[in-house]
Structure 1
Amino acid sequence: MENDRSAGPHFLVVSFYLQGHITPSLFLAKRLAGVAGVRVTFSTAVTSHRLIFPAAPAAGDDPVSYIPYSDGFDDKHDPDKYARGDYYYDRLNADAAKSLSAIVGDLAAAGRPVNCVIYSCFSTWAAVVARKHGIQSVPLWTQPATAFAAYWHFFHGLESLVSANAGDRYFSVRFPGMPPLQICDLPSLLTVSKEDDWACHLGPLRDMCAIMDSFDKKPKILINTSTEMEPHAISSVSNMVDVYAIGPMLTEPAATAAATLFDLDDKDYLQWLDTQPDDSVVYISFGSMRVLNKLEVEQIARGLKDTGRPYLWVLRRDSGSPDVESPPTVAAEAEGKRLGMVVEWCDQVRVLEHRAVGCFVTHCGWNSTTEALAVGGVRMVGAPMWMDQATNAWLMEKDWGIGVRAEVDRGGMLMAGELRRCVDEVMGSEEMGSKARQWKETLGRAAAEGRVKQRIMEFVKDISSD
């Protein structure tokens, strides 16, 4: 096997340190390693590497090699400093680039030179390192193709139009070849004010597109989506970019749990789900970054209780807010029977594929959205906050027809009455349920036919021939 791999290309997959980037990046690394003759090294920040691999992987157990890079925050990431994107990205462009450059050099010295660097979006500094070493680089887009198309067209002629109307949430924008999107449906980085801390995060994406534009050949991008899910977005950029739709990238439940940065709750939530009727449970999770304050917890708890439906709620104890009540205190009781269960973290793939789950209340992160669509065939209530989440909610509600987007107050809070209204609407809609199941079947057929594997093999072949 080693001899076979030594003749083929060596991919270095570089992931941003957040869970939403690590999950698809690690999946891609493992899929690449399954292609005959291919070597793969996976690299994420030291802090995340330590959480995923508390012990060194046993030699020979995994075809992927793992070498972490240092981003200057090896002891702990500070969410407040990360929010100030200029501070964090300055450290990335200095410390992480230096560390990754050393990794590339060490691999070459060891007789394992890297042929291509694949980097998750927001890790554009990795492309700069690749260019320094004379290596190809390709971004892995961990958001929907619709978001990438919006960014691409924004940076290629539509920036002034979007910026001039950013304050009108219902202003309609027509990107080439795509259905109209309102300002409120666009990725939030395109509409935040320049003074907003989050506006700094637009810089790496602008740099990514500029690097892609600088290539002599048509640039490539890997996107965690499928042509079935986003045909218009893919076609809208295909004349300028070679899009490899290699999604939805989903792993087996055990593999997904192994790649998590958080400890799974030891409560018997799966056994509890086994006791619930089919299509009856409301599953609610706002992902790995959302911080809930005490009032938000109270509103959600009240809304869930008012639905009268059983629920499974992921509420992290380490969410970062001292006002968040400990999870066990907010589970409701009804006539002596526990109405809901609250856990700190769970194996989301296993939960979404469970027969009892009938609705997913979500922040609309892309991984969560695609898991609900392809694994669970589950209706959704979207409560997006930032980044690509509003765009994902638009796809879920307007394009796929499998849920509704909840209205939040001016502070972005989901109120109890609105939560109950949306859950009742979604759970009561046979049409949404039918469409969700159809999407699961459609994407299941694509998976059975090995389309993701085929597209990845095409990518490897194209990289090898460049």
Structure 2
Amino acid sequence: MASSGSSQKQPHAIMISMHLQGHLIPCINLAMKLASNGFTVTFVHLEFIHHQIVTSQSGDQTTGIDIFSEARQSGLDINYATISDGFPLEFDRSKNLDQFLQSYVNDFPSRVDEFVGEIMRTHLSSDYEFFLVADTFSFWAAEIAEKYEMVSVSFWTEPATVFSLYYHLELLKENGHVPVSGREEEVDYVPGIRSINTKDFMSYLQDSELTLLHKAIFGAFEDVKRVDFVLCNTVEELEEEAVSVLQKNQPFYAVGPLFPRDLLKVSVPRSLLPEFDCTEWLNTKSPASVLYVSFGSLATAEKKVILEIAGGILRSGVDFIWVLRPGIVGSDEDGMLPDGFRDLVKERGLIVPWCKQWQVLSNPGIGGFLTHCGWNSTLESIWFGVPMVCHPLFTDQITNRKLVVDDWKVGLNLCDGEYVTSEEVVEKIGALMDDQKSCKLRQQIKKWRNTLRNALREDGSSERNFARFVEDVKNKVLTKC
């Protein structure tokens, strides 16, 4: 596509985000960072995601709002567009998940193809040279980039350790360790991972039944080997061996944590749910006295687990904020908490459907985080120096727990046995919130907090890696034939 005058052209990133909250947040942050480094960006949300974000901000059903308008007013060159997934806005994708996934895997790639093709045709005589940035799980990305002769950038929103396990899937299969099928065996042959037990593999490697979703995920990791660059939302010093080995396979850059420079004053809406502001309540609490509890935006938990956790929190006597998201126990919302629980804890507990997590974790009143170990939550907790009690539910959270508890030693397991019990919840909350018992945890998380913050300094590893990526991708894009 490049012409003899390509050196004068402007690199233009087309970014098509995933539709899951945990992927949206770093993807938007990456768009902002690319634009801040002189790139033109066209950022694309699915229409129903745009609708959810706009509604969560104001309750208004208007869909024509440009979420990047303030960013543009500040001088960033970000265009905004939406693309249909083929269903009307009112279609319930969670209740019709199989139908949605079937369409997403089989039909959505052609919609992306048409969308990208239209952008390319519209700008044939422009001064732009386009490249594609897509989530690694976007199994269609490599093929579309090759069709339009575009440079392709894969964005991995999870740890490098998880990337490596997916990347070496065939090796794990050859050695009989995938599917795990309930076995617990140490694996020490995956490049860049010194040792890991099969029980700590992501849930998609645990399952013996291959679904359409599995095939899409595993296919994406075959395709990722064809892309030009991989950006990873991790820090080199956190996962040094994994990052080092992956860099030998193809251009791989650890550029995390992808946080906005001004963490608590972000002008681009990112949340799919209305966010409750807990600041006023938290400011009445003593330093490090409040437990924050949240299990993320997607996974469901068994009702009996929520009941045991509630019983443990009640008996612990600790002050707490608990995010009880609608749908956390599936469709069975009745009796989600024990009878009378809200009345018994009303003086020391705040229960909300969703919140501004940055504001909560950054507040001096927070002393611990009972978490599902989603990667965004893990990075945020380390960034603010808040030690964790871990209760992973599915996908990468299981492997993230291993990193948090076993490798970095900044967290505790909520459950060391087969089932969560209120007695163990009391014990683990006590070990987390007691200054003396959690002294080593707090020392470790202070060390890793400094590692993350140093990585984002001007001369830090992530800033250097991002600067190198900017130079490399510009050179590749502007010399692409």
Distance 1:287 1:24 in 2: 15
Residue 457 of structure 1 deviates from its aligned partner by 2.6
Q: Please report how far the alpha carbon of residue 235 of structure 1 lies from its aligned counterpart in structure 2 after TM superposition.
A: 1.6
Q: Which has the higher contact order (CA 8 A, sep 6+)?
A: 2
Partner of 1:248: 257
Aligned-partner Cα distance in 2 for 1:83–1:365: 24
Q: How does 1:210-221 map to 2 (within 5 A)?
A: 210-214=222-226, 219-221=228-230
Q: Residues 120 and 19 from structure 1, CA distance in 2 versus in 1: closer, same or farther, beyond 3 angstroms? A: same
| Cross-structure match for 2:285 | 276
Rounded Cα–Cα distance in structure 2 between residues aligned with 1:255 and 1:436: 25
Aligned to 2:58: none
Unaligned runs of 5+ in 2: 1-6, 55-62, 477-481
- Give the alignment partner of residue 456 of structure 2, picking from 434, 447, 454: 447
Partners of 1:12 and 1:42 within 8 A in 2: yes
- Indicate how the Cα distance of structure 1 residues 96 and 331 shifts in structure 2: closer, same or farther if over 3 A, else same: farther
Q: Of the candidates 19, 22, 26, which is equivalent to residue 20 of structure 1?
A: 22
Is the CA contact 2:299–2:394 (under 8 Å) kept in the aligned structure 1?
no
Q: Residues of 1 paired with 2:395 and 2:343: CA distance?
A: 33
Q: Which residue of 2 aligns with 1:417?
A: 423
Tell me what 2:9 maps to.
7
How far the C-alpha of 1:278 sits from its partner, in A, is 1.3
The DSSP-based 3-state class of the residue aligned with 2:13 is: strand
Secondary structure in 2 matching 1:393: helix
Residues 276-331 of structure 1, C-alpha deviations (whole Å, 9 max, x = no match): 11111110000001234543432222111111110100012354524345889743
Corresponding residue number in structure 2 for 1:358:
367
* 1:142 Cα deviation from its structure 2 partner: 0.8
1:459 aligns with 2:465: no
Against the structure 1 CA distance between its residues 322 and 166, is the aligned structure 2 distance closer, same or farther, given a 3 Å change threshold? closer
Give how far 1:393 is off. 0.4
In the alignment, does 2:405 pair up with 1:390? no
* Cα offset, 1:111, TM superposition: 2.8
- C-alpha change, 1:140 and 1:227, in structure 2 (3 Å) is same
Matched residue, 2:3: none
Letter in 1 for 2:186: S
Does 2:238 correspond to 1:258? no
Q: For 2:98 and 2:393, how far apart are their aligned partners in 1?
A: 14
* Deviation at residue 249 of structure 1 after TM alignment: 1.1
Q: Give, in angstroms, the shift of residue 167 of structure 1.
A: 2.6
1:37-436 residue pairs with structure 2 within 5 A?
A: 38-53=39-54, 55-57=65-67, 58=69, 60-61=72-73, 62-75=76-89, 76-82=91-97, 87-105=102-120, 107-109=122-124, 111=126, 113=128, 115-155=130-170, 157-163=171-177, 166-174=180-188, 175-195=190-210, 199-214=211-226, 219-251=228-260, 252-255=263-266, 258-265=269-276, 269-292=278-301, 294-317=303-326, 319=328, 320-325=330-335, 330-331=341-342, 333=344, 338-374=347-383, 376-407=384-415, 414-427=420-433, 428-436=437-445
Aligned length: 447
Deviation per CA, 1:185-210, whole angstroms, max 9, x where unpaired?
Answer: 11111121125xxx433323333332
Aligned-pair distance for 1:371? Answer: 0.6
How many Å separate the matches in 2 of 1:421 and 1:257? 40
Q: Supply the distance in 2 between the matched residues of 1:318 and 1:406 (Cα, whole angstroms).
A: 22
Shift of 1:106: 5.1
Is the 1:312–1:342 Cα contact (8 Å) retained in structure 2? Answer: yes
Q: Deviations over 1:369-412 (max 9, x none)?
A: 111011x11111111121111110000001110111222776xx
2:60 corresponds to which residue?
none
Contact 2:204 2:214 in 1 (8 A): yes
The range that moved more, 269-278 or 421-430, is 421-430
> C-alpha deviations, 1:64-100, integer Å up to 9, x for none?
1111122223414512443678514434544543453
Secondary structure, counterpart of 1:225 in structure 2: coil
Residues 42-75 of structure 1 deviation map (CA, whole Å, 9 limit, x = unaligned): 1121111223345234484253111112222341
User: How much identity, in percent, do the aligned residues show?
Assistant: 28
Contact 1:162 1:190 in 2 (8 A): no
Residue type at the aligned position of 1:394: K
Q: Report if the CA contact (8 A) 1:178-1:236 is conserved.
A: no
- Structure 1's 83 and 191: CA in aligned 2 closer, same or farther, altered over 3 A? farther
Shift of the 77–190 alpha-carbon distance from structure 1 to 2, 3 Å rule, reads same
Give the secondary structure class of the aligned counterpart of 1:454.
helix
Q: Deviations over 1:228-254 (max 9, x none)?
A: 111111122221122110101122223
The letter of the residue matching 2:366 is: V
Quote the Cα distance in structure 2 between the aligned partners of 1:154 and 1:232.
Answer: 18
Name the CA distance, whole Å, in 1 between partners of 2:185 and 2:245: 21
| Maintained 8 Å contact 2:300/2:327 | no
Amino acid at match of 2:342: A
Whether contact under 8 Å (2:181, 2:208) holds in the other structure is no
Counterparts of 2:139 and 2:16, CA distance in 1: 10
How far off is 1:151 after superposition? 1.0
Q: CA deviation at 1:211?
A: 2.5
CA RMSD of aligned residues (A): 2.8
Q: Using a 3 Å threshold, how does the CA distance of structure 1 residues 210 and 107 change in structure 2: closer, same or farther?
A: farther
Q: For residues 417 and 85 of structure 1, what CA distance do their matches in structure 2 show?
A: 40
